[in-house]
């Protein structure tokens, strides 16, 4: 009979490290969203998890590095949603609606909310450059979905840049007012908002 080793394999160690890093990041983003970057101390994050401040440095780095990882994770979620929408079958308007719903849902979750609530002036020059570049990619991805819907005739011709700004402005706002303790889930709120934006207020 082969003895089972009490020691973790390199893969198990890596998985455990990643799970701990994610737990620290999730705790940090929630406190950033609640208090703001300047009012948040890494000691607050450490206390919320029952760990030491050096443990946060070990997994994520200093406070700005923690914030940057939070906003980059949120922006990456938005890019993944755009890429997924691009691969979906159906008309352009259907792909756009799918993306807009997911866009709104992400902005009502912890990391998307952090993207909306974080001004790039809080970041270093290098961090600000990364932040702005990814936001620019997300804007272009939304415009591409709009232009595809115009091209296949599923939405009326319009200024794709103006429409993208209008949609993003509306769907960014729930990051500031949505509460998970409310009567509706983020999925329900997102679907209703997208219905209003794409169908308008006039009765059918």
Domain identity same for 57 and 72:
no
CATH of the domain at 31: 1.10.10.60
Answer whether residue 170 is part of any domain.
yes
Taking only the tens place, the pLDDT of each residue in 165-184 is 999 999 999 988 888 888 89
Domain identity same for 90 and 53:
no
Question: Of 41, 61, 81, which closes a domain?
Answer: 61
Q: Is the model's pLDDT at 111 over the cut of 60?
A: yes
Number of domains the chain is built from: 2
Domain identity same for 118 and 188:
yes
What span, in angstroms and rounded, lies between the C-alpha atoms of 180 and 190? 13
User: Which residue range(s) make up the domain with 192?
Assistant: 68-199
Answer whether residue 4 is part of any domain.
no
3 state DSSP class of 200: coil
What span, in angstroms and rounded, lies between the C-alpha atoms of 204 and 36? 43
Q: How confident is the model at residue 121 (pLDDT cuts 50, 70, 90)?
A: confident
Domain identity same for 131 and 36:
no
Q: Is the model's pLDDT at 2 over the cut of 60?
A: no
Domain identity same for 92 and 150:
yes
Contact 175, 108 (CB under 8 A): yes
User: In the structure encoding, which two tokens stand for residue 191, read together?
Assistant: 């679907």
Domain identity same for 76 and 163:
yes
CATH of the domain at 120: 1.10.357.10
For 107-138, b/e burial (b = at least 16 CB within 10 A) is bbbbbbbbbbbbeeebbeeebeebbeebbeeb
Answer whether residue 135 is part of any domain.
yes
Burial of 105 (0-12, 13-18, 19+ CB in 10 A): buried
Taking only the tens place, the pLDDT of each residue in 129-151 is 888 998 999 999 999 999 999 99
Domain identity same for 54 and 94:
no
Cβ within 8 Å of residue 171, ≥6 positions away: 100, 103, 104, 107, 190, 193, 194, 197
What span, in angstroms and rounded, lies between the C-alpha atoms of 111 and 89? 28
pLDDT attached to residue 8: 67
Answer whether residue 156 is part of any domain.
yes
Closest CA to 114 of 78, 60, 81, 153: 78
Average pLDDT taken over every residue of the chain: 87
Domain identity same for 175 and 111:
yes
Domain identity same for 177 and 84:
yes
The string of DSSP letters for 98-149 reads HHHHHHHHHHTSHHHHHHHH--GGGS-HHHHHHHHHHHHHHHHHHHHHHHHH
Taking only the tens place, the pLDDT of each residue in 36-45 is 888 888 888 8
Answer whether residue 117 is part of any domain.
yes
Answer whether residue 2 is part of any domain.
no
- Orientation angle between helical segments 10-35 and 42-49, nearest 10 degrees: 120
């Amino acid at each position: 009979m082969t003895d089972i080793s009490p020691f973790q394999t390199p893969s198990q160690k890596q998985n455990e490290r990643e799970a701990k890093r994610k737990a620290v990041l999730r705790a940090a983003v929630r406190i950033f969203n609640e208090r703001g970057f300047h009012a948040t101390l890494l000691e607050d994050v450490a206390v919320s998890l029952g760990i030491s401040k050096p443990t946060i440095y070990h997994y994520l780095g200093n406070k700005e590095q923690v914030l940057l990882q939070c906003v980059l994770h949120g922006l990456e979620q938005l890019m993944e949603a755009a890429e997924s929408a691009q691969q979906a079958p159906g008309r352009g308007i259907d792909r756009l609606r799918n993306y807009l719903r997911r866009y709104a849902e992400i902005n009502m979750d912890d990391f998307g909310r952090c993207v909306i609530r974080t001004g790039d002036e809080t970041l270093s020059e290098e961090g600000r450059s990364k932040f702005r570049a990814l936001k620019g990619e997300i804007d272009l991805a939304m415009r591409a979905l709009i232009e595809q819907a115009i091209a296949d005739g599923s939405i009326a011709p319009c200024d794709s840049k103006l429409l993208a700004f209008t949609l993003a402005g509306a769907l960014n706002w729930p990051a500031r007012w949505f509460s998970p303790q409310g009567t509706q889930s983020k999925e329900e709120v997102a679907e209703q908002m997208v219905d209003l934006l794409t169908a308008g207020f006039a009765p059918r």
